[in-house]
Amino acid sequence: MHLPALHPTHAHSILALAIYLACSNAIAAEIIDTPIGNQVLSTHDFAIAAQPLANALDQLSEQSGLQIAYSADLAQGVQSSGVSGQMTSQQALAQLLAGTQLGFEPNGANAVMLVRRPAPGSALELGATSIISNQLGTVTEGTGSYTPGTIATATRLVLTPRQTPQSITVITRQHMDDFGLNNVDDVMRHTPGITVSAFDSDRTNYYARGFSINNFQYDGIPSTVRNVAYSAGNTLSDMAIYDRVEVLKGATGLLTGAGSLGATINLVRKKPTADFQGHASAGMGSWDNYRSELDLSGPLTDTGNVRGRAVAAYQDKNSFMDHYSRKSSVYYGILEFDLSPDTMLTVGGDYQDSNPKGSSWSGSFPLINSAGGHNSVSRSFNNGTDWSGWEQYTRTVFATLEHELGDGWVTKLQLDHKINGYHAALGSIQFDQPKPDGTASINAQKYTGETTSDSADLYVSGPFTLLGREHELVLGGSIGTSHWKGKGYWDVTHRGPNIVDFNHWNGNFPEPDWGPVSQRSDDVVRQTGAYMTTRLNLSDDLKVFLGGRVVNYHLTGLNPSYKESGRFVPYVGAVYDLNDTYSVYASYTDIFMPQESWNKDRDSKLLEPDEGQNYELGLKADFFEGRLNSSLAYFEVHEDNRSMPDDDYNNLQPTPPNYAFKGTQAVTKGYELEISGELSPGWQLQAGYTHKIVRDDNDQKISTFEPEDQVSLYTSYKLNGRLENLTVGAGARWQSVGWQSIYNAPLGHYQDISQESYWLVDLMTRYQFSEHLSATLNINNLFDKYYYTNVGFYNSAAYGEPRNFMLSTRWDF
């Protein structure tokens, strides 16, 4: 029995043209066209107990690597009698399905699709499919869920959230579509425990557990790019090309090497699908915000051994801020080739641009005026000139080769080449302004630069038997380099008097002559590492994780060099199942991060690396066969050499020639509660509460601009009966007070500037007019709350967005 095939004439040609425009297919002629029926299948040792079918399928997929697709309703309420013994993955699947009225069909290389066995003469009907597992974890697209099935970000082992001994949050494709999350900033604002801090209109920084996040991964491959402060494309990545965003909390040195103590952000790209699908969408919103998107995916050959996907999105928006606008575009293409029954090659690339005009710089207005008082301006005030712009771009090509070795063992090679660039001609009103007469001056500087990075990761993973039990092992190695070349211009010549009217500022000021280069950056980071992780099944209920990474790190360039060789980063964890629902866990790992080039002491010597140890223990649970996940975690991060301004030196009179920093110890303590997934059929939820406090070696609170307490809750519900075409949703996030101590130069002392606690409330609703056409309305900041997204950065502040809406229509092919 075979599934009805989509005739390739028009679907294939449309998709092939789109893929050709986005991604080169020069190697397609070399692909071997091998039908799945010719596969040579290896055998595995299975020991899967009788249990709900959804859980049994997940275990079979993890143990054998077989990808299983099925509609969610097929497995709901179905029990499996289990399977035991040595056999092929398809033989094991047949036993799991025995007596369930279900069967399966080939669905590509090492992949099958579950089907309901029809009565004689009846037609076969399939629901929306959801991929159970692959080497990156569960594909969330099409599941309709706010929780993942499996993840691999923490250890490279493909595990469920409950099986992972560390806190992790996943923002799924459905969550992004429901609430119109179109870039990384949007996603981070919906991620429990993450603080999004805006430097200005085009640069943001993320914080977790008291630390700035500078660890970005793409499909699990860590980036070695360090210049996060220049925001060269990372934080503006368009979500049109991603299936989900995984945020692993705490230290992540096992797979990252050098990096931040707070969290790692892993962006997982969309993959081609076995069947033709696609959508086109268009939207319009507040302040002339227009967005369009096209996504096409499916097989490119009759047998389906070549599959592709192409995505394009374009956005043109103005802003609540005066004379500010931004145009952004993204193009993405990916191809999968079944080179043999056991080998798959993936190649792809993306091209992203962000072109703003009228960018603010260092907040959106200065906090302190020349008399030492506080400025009060409207939310629309923009300290930037009308020509100011922080342009950013990324260019990426990547490739993956996956091969099944047999007996459950797989090997995977991933390659990634990325260019992150920026061109920023900037001018804004900064510092202690305006003067008593209402005039102010413009600070103008220009920054240009580009970082070229290359990453490679190779690992092998599979089961092994020891002392009568089957365990799992990952062995791998990675190499990464990044080369940042930048220029700074601040020896400028203005084309007239540098005087503007602060109270009637409209951005009109001539762009200066930028003059010669004032500063050059030419830094190269090289990092290599070998890592190992094993999950030891000590008993049916106890799993122990042991692993580590050996890191070699070398920073060279115009700034001070730093080298670290043979540094060992340990990883230890344990998960104990209390019953079929609850597990307790504990984990320990550490990480280090060489200091940025400006973090020098009063003798102009670079500070020692920022180092930290992450301790975590907690309780996890899954309900309804994994459709709802929850966790409660307590964490501590012990840090050495945290960079802090050396105020005793910097405030000397006369002012020292260099601005100095010093290292301090710090401890972060906190706890967090999260829940995500399906509360009942059609009702999805993602919510979290986080509490944390960071104290230095004098027991003083630091990192106080991050709130100590945060609440996040987003939910949607698909109605039933006569209103079954309607989905409604709402979201709310709250944070406690945050403050920053800034130096009021006119008054000659420090003072605290606070952002009081506040709630933000969002609404969404979607109506499904037909099988293909839907419309979604999103309303953000429903009660039009005034709040700052940053306070204190260069003695400035930046307002958050007022109430706004976005209406989007979508046509699904």
Q: What's the pLDDT at 685?
A: 97
Residue 560 tokens, joined: 């001070």
Q: What's the pLDDT at 25?
A: 36
Maximum mean pLDDT: which of 199-213, 313-327, 456-470, 555-569: 313-327
Q: What's the pLDDT at 84?
A: 77
Q: What's the pLDDT at 227?
A: 57
- Distance between CA atoms of residues 413 and 401, nearest Å: 5
Counting Cβ atoms within 10 Å, is residue 7 exposed (0-12), middle (13-18) or buried (19+)? exposed
- Distance between CA atoms of residues 279 and 295, nearest Å: 5
- Distance between CA atoms of residues 502 and 436, nearest Å: 11
The residue-averaged pLDDT of 155-170 equals 92
The residue-averaged pLDDT of 344-357 equals 95
Q: What's the pLDDT at 42?
A: 67
Q: What's the pLDDT at 258?
A: 84
The pLDDT tens digits of the residues spanning 491-501 come to 999 999 999 99
- Distance between CA atoms of residues 741 and 792, nearest Å: 7
Q: What's the pLDDT at 27?
A: 32
Q: How confident is the model at residue 7 (pLDDT cuts 50, 70, 90)?
A: very low
Query: In degrees, to the nearest 5, what angle opens at C-alpha 672 toward C-alphas 671 and 673?
Result: 140
Average pLDDT over all residues of the chain: 87
Q: What's the pLDDT at 233?
A: 59
Residues in the chain: 813
Q: How confident is the model at residue 108 (pLDDT cuts 50, 70, 90)?
A: low
Q: How confident is the model at residue 594 (pLDDT cuts 50, 70, 90)?
A: confident
Residue with tokens 């692909």: 31
Q: What stretches of 119-211 show up as alpha helix (H) in DSSP? A: 173-179, 184-189
Q: How many CA atoms lie within 13 A of 680 on its CB side?
A: 4
**Could you tell me which residue, 232 or 34, shows the higher pLDDT?**
232
Residue with tokens 């679907």: 11
Q: What's the pLDDT at 10?
A: 47
Torsion of CA 775, 780, 782, 787, to 10 degrees: -170
Residue 492 tokens, joined: 């400028």
Taking each continuous run of H as one helix and of E as one strand, the counts in the chain are 8, 46
Q: How confident is the model at residue 229 (pLDDT cuts 50, 70, 90)?
A: low
Counting Cβ atoms within 10 Å, is residue 440 exposed (0-12), middle (13-18) or buried (19+)? buried
The pLDDT tens digits of the residues spanning 740-772 come to 989 899 998 889 999 999 999 999 999 999 999
The pLDDT tens digits of the residues spanning 655-677 come to 888 889 998 899 999 999 999 99
Candidate from 202-216, 268-282, 295-309 with smallest mean pLDDT: 202-216
Counting Cβ atoms within 10 Å, is residue 467 exposed (0-12), middle (13-18) or buried (19+)? exposed
Contact 78, 121 (CB under 8 A): no
Chain centroid offset of residue 634 CA? 23
The residue-averaged pLDDT of 253-282 equals 90
- Distance between CA atoms of residues 172 and 235, nearest Å: 18
Q: What's the pLDDT at 4?
A: 35
Q: What's the pLDDT at 114?
A: 81
The pLDDT tens digits of the residues spanning 25-41 come to 333 333 333 333 333 34
pTM score, whole prediction: 0.84
The residue-averaged pLDDT of 160-170 equals 93
